[in-house]
Amino acid sequence: MAYLYSDWITQLRKETKDLDKLYHQRFDGDASTTQFQVSTYPIKDDSYTVKINDVTQTEGTDYTLNKDIGLFEFASAPAAGGDNVSIEYRAVKLRDTDWLNVSNDAIDYFRDMFWTEEIDSTSLTSVIDQYDYDLTTLLTKVPVAIMSVEYIASGSTDWSDVCNYTNWVLFKDKNYLHFNKPFTTTGLKIKIRYLATYTQGSATTATFPVQAKWRLPYKYFCFAKFYERTVPDRIENVAMVNTLPTYLPPSMMTNLVEYYYRKADETARKIAPTKPAVSIQHLVS
């Protein structure tokens, strides 16, 4: 069964105690006010129910919501009445979208240390006298390193090492595969075995790509990002109730952020896999 971003985010929420809390607020309609601000936010995605005079309202038609600041805006002002506007919702410290972005930041941060091994034998074909092949448009994943390049010569069914025919190099900054000398025939199938960066997900329903054995540094990085984002709110709380022992001083919060960034780096260096050996290329005169 696929391990999804939503599964990963649920785990992060449990360990950072970013658990959603249920709130129910009522407001008086006055036939002119269209905006209603709830007291606690951000609001968790798909966790809210809005009613006017006990009639459920439809988001996008009857009202819009800014989840980050907890502002509900109605298309038409609710009729006058006492407590006739009802909003039930769940609030968190980070929305699912924020956790998704934080997780993708971790994937980008460790992009050269952790990878998947891929083999592509269908996307590339040779072009006569062409030196550079843009892998951004040809491969579905971004290479960290290329382990081998092979081709099938005309009239053959066997793969042959490109190094015996021409020389190649990966330009990572441009994501180009450069051949020197170029192929002298168009249409030859090219197979690339490469190490690819993890593909970032665009929704919580996407598969979280990091293998279980390598997730620990990603978790520490996400912890650091979480505390980094919540430091300003915690400092404000400390300023108001600095006598309560349940609140961490600002300096301790900052140290916590630095601790988890450092922990992420240290753990990654310890468990990062060693890249497979690459055969030495034989220069062709």
The answer for residues whose C-beta is within 8 angstroms of residue 219's C-beta and 6 or more apart is: 11, 12, 15
pLDDT tens, position by position, 22-76: 999 999 999 999 999 999 999 998 899 999 999 999 999 999 999 999 999 999 9
Distance CA 114, CA 21 (A): 36
Q: Which long-range contacts (CB under 8 A, 24 or more apart) does 269-273 make?
A: 271/213, 271/214, 271/216, 271/217, 272/113, 272/114, 272/214, 273/114, 273/115, 273/214
Least confident stretch, 105-114, 170-179, 230-239, 246-255: 230-239
Least confident stretch, 64-68, 150-154, 200-204: 150-154
Among 62, 15, 71, smallest CA distance to 41 is for: 71
